[in-house]
Copies of this chain bind each other. A is one copy, B any other.
């Protein structure tokens, strides 16, 4: 029937693309048993017109699934963040974590939480925080900052200082810990945008990369 072939074309494309390889027009032709390229082309055009597929003109294998637009990204899970901040720490990655925020707009990284200082904010040891890299933050944000050559997760508070000035403090969310009042500059690595707790390990550990 009419509609039947189109459905077969769509399912062929969807399965192939999900499996990781985009068919060319002639591969669709062969898969469907058409003896003309144009037959496959027209079905593909129709699927694009109906929004079932997207295509990049003129490039080979340029068809995409629209739901790819909600795509996922992998960001590095850093092991330790030490002196020198991220520049050095980037090389010390523990694995990768999947996020659905586009990291190309603003760099993201992930960090494993140590210690119980944020317990009352429901952030526990071994949780993973997703951090958006930025040099400053607002009052009330949960941030990652460098304290004594170690990355620490705390809540940022901006308190009024003498003579109308203001000062940044790092507050834990656990009465057993004390606030940190930095003496000099406060080196903020970024703002925590998400917290994750995994009950099963699923982080990818890489061996080596060229």
Contact = CB atoms under 8 A, between A and B. Distances in A.
Contacts of A99: 72, 98, 202
B18 A138 contact: no
Contact of A60 (B52, B61, B134, B158): B61
24 contacts: A3-B210, A6-B210, A47-B210, A50-B210, A52-B209, A70-B204, A72-B72, A97-B100, A100-B203, A101-B201, A122-B122, A122-B123, A122-B124, A134-B207, A136-B207, A137-B210, A138-B206, A138-B208, A156-B210, A158-B208, A158-B210, A168-B210, A193-B200, A194-B198
Interface of A: 3, 6-7, 10, 18-22, 24, 47, 50, 52, 56, 60-62, 64, 67-74, 95-101, 119, 122-124, 132, 134-139, 141-142, 156, 158, 166, 168, 186, 188, 191-204, 206-210
